[in-house]
């Protein structure tokens, strides 16, 4: 069955007239949501801890900033954009005791609703608008008069206006310029986690690291290994983005294509391991493992962060990236990435 997709004509901004929207968090997604909605004429307030580093960032953009509790008290729509592991505490301590009767609750990822860590009462519409791109791209495309596609869902619809709110919010984000695809909290959560773990992060990252190790352990120069297993990856991804796997293959040599077709690195055993990972996502065991670790102070997460930040490929990478003239202002890009990470971590914690 073909996916249902909504566009500009399907969203009505008047649905948001006279309503206050509280954006909880001002990280990567939070700043994009708040600014895009504000520029679409929506009445926005940003909810943050009083001592959050993000308070000044938001105020500098001309946004109204209040504590999470105070922002919640006056909001008709609350969009929760804090990191997954902090949302349930923010909900139970700051939002749930202060939320207005019937206020709509929104998310950009279904994790906490799907796994039951947050359970709004039945009188609250619960919806999702999840951009398929990082916040700085969401903001940049809006300013340019374009939009980033979103996936949208409604989990609770007590009054029958859940979809009207969802599509109005997506339009205010600029997302309906590109399109909004109908999904469910379950589908978005499980496919998003699977893609991250088994293809985008847990797949590509480990393929690059392992390929680099195989070549260098065989005696090849680290610089040459980096070019072959990491640097050229961007070219292929760009080609996939433009025209799918076929364009990526057709753009490469016959030798490369033949090697692609005959490679046995990714095989049925890989698929079996992917199925196992998907099962852990579906039955909630991955979510429980992650949240339990976070509740304990994230010892495993911090250990893994430290371990993987010192992979051998990162010893040669910075030097070679500085050679790429088309990566203008490499230093500025690295600083921007660091800034984004800092504001994401400081949202409402």
Contacts 24+ apart (CB under 8 A), 229-232: 230/313, 230/317, 231/320, 231/324
pLDDT band at 319 (very low <50, low <70, confident <90, very high): confident
Active-site annotation holder among 33, 109, 114, 124: 109
Domain endpoint, select from 124, 150, 183: 183
Q: Which domain holds residue 50?
A: 5-183
- 109 assigned to active site: yes
- 342 assigned to some structural domain: no
Residues 151 and 229 in one domain: no
The answer to whether 99 touches 80, Cβ cutoff 8 Å, is no
pLDDT band at 76 (very low <50, low <70, confident <90, very high): very high
- Average pLDDT over the chain, rounded to an integer: 91
Cα 10 from Cα 291, distance rounded (Å): 37
Residue 141 assigned as binding residue: no
Structure letter (DSSP) for residue 244: H
Domain endpoint, select from 150, 183, 216: 183
Structure letter (DSSP) for residue 110: -
Residue 253 assigned as binding residue: yes
- 161 assigned to some structural domain: yes
Residues 48 and 154 in one domain: yes
Q: What is the per-residue pLDDT for 329?
A: 53
Residues 100 and 207 in one domain: no
CA 248 from centroid of its chain's CA atoms? 25
CB contact burial 201-236 (16+ within 10 A = b; e otherwise): eebeeebbbebbeebbeeeeebeebbeebbbeeeeb
- Structural domains counted in the chain: 2
For the segment 10-49, what is each residue's pLDDT rounded down to a tens digit? 999 999 999 999 999 999 899 999 999 999 999 999 999 9
Residue 337 assigned as binding residue: no
Using the predicted structure, report yes or no on whether residue 349 has a pLDDT greater than 50.
no
For the segment 105-119, what is each residue's pLDDT rounded down to a tens digit? 999 999 999 999 999
Residue that wins the pLDDT comparison between 80 and 1: 80
Arithmetic mean of pLDDT, 127-143:
96
Outline where DSSP puts E strands in 49-121.
64-66, 77-80, 104-107
Structure letter (DSSP) for residue 43: E
Residues 177 and 211 in one domain: no
Q: What is the per-residue pLDDT for 336?
A: 43
Residue 134 has which token pair? Answer: 């990082």
Residue 190 assigned as binding residue: no
- 287 assigned to some structural domain: no
Rounded to 5 degrees, φ, ψ at 108 are -110, 5
Arithmetic mean of pLDDT, 154-172:
98
């Amino acid at each position: 069955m073909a996916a249902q997709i909504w566009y500009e004509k399907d969203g009505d901004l008047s649905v948001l007239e006279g309503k206050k929207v509280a954006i909880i968090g001002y990280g990567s997604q939070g700043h994009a949501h708040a600014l895009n909605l504000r520029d679409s004429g929506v009445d926005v307030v940003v909810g943050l801890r009083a001592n959050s580093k993000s308070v000044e960032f938001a105020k500098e953009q001309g946004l109204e900033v209040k504590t999470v509790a105070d922002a919640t008290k006056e909001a008709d729509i609350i969009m929760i954009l804090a990191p997954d592991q902090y949302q349930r505490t923010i909900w139970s301590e700051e939002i749930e005791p202060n939320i207005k009767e019937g206020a709509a609750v929104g998310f950009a990822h279904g994790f906490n609703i799907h796994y039951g860590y947050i359970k709004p009462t039945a009188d609250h519409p619960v919806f999702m608008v999840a951009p398929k791109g990082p916040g700085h791209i969401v903001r940049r495309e809006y300013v340019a008069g374009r939009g980033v596609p979103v996936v949208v869902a409604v989990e609770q619809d007590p009054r029958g206006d859940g979809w009207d709110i969802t599509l109005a919010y997506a339009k205010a984000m600029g997302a309906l310029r590109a399109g909004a695809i109908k999904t469910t909290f379950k589908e978005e959560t499980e496919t998003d986690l699977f893609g991250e773990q088994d293809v985008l992060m847990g797949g590509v990252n480990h393929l690059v690291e392992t390929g680099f190790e195989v070549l260098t352990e065989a005696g090849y120069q680290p610089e040459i290994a980096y070019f072959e297993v990491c640097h050229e990856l961007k070219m292929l991804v760009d080609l996939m983005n433009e025209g799918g796997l076929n364009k990526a293959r057709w753009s490469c040599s016959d030798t490369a294509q033949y090697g692609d077709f005959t490679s046995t690195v990714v095989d049925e055993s890989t698929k079996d391991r992917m199925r196992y990972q998907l099962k852990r996502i579906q039955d909630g065991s991955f979510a429980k493992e992650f949240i339990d670790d976070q509740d304990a102070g994230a010892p495993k997460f911090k250990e893994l962060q430290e371990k993987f930040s010192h992979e051998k490929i990162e010893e040669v990478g910075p030097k070679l990236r500085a050679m790429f003239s088309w990566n203008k202002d490499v230093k500025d890009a690295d600083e921007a990435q660091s800034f984004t990470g800092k504001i994401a971590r400081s949202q409402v914690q």
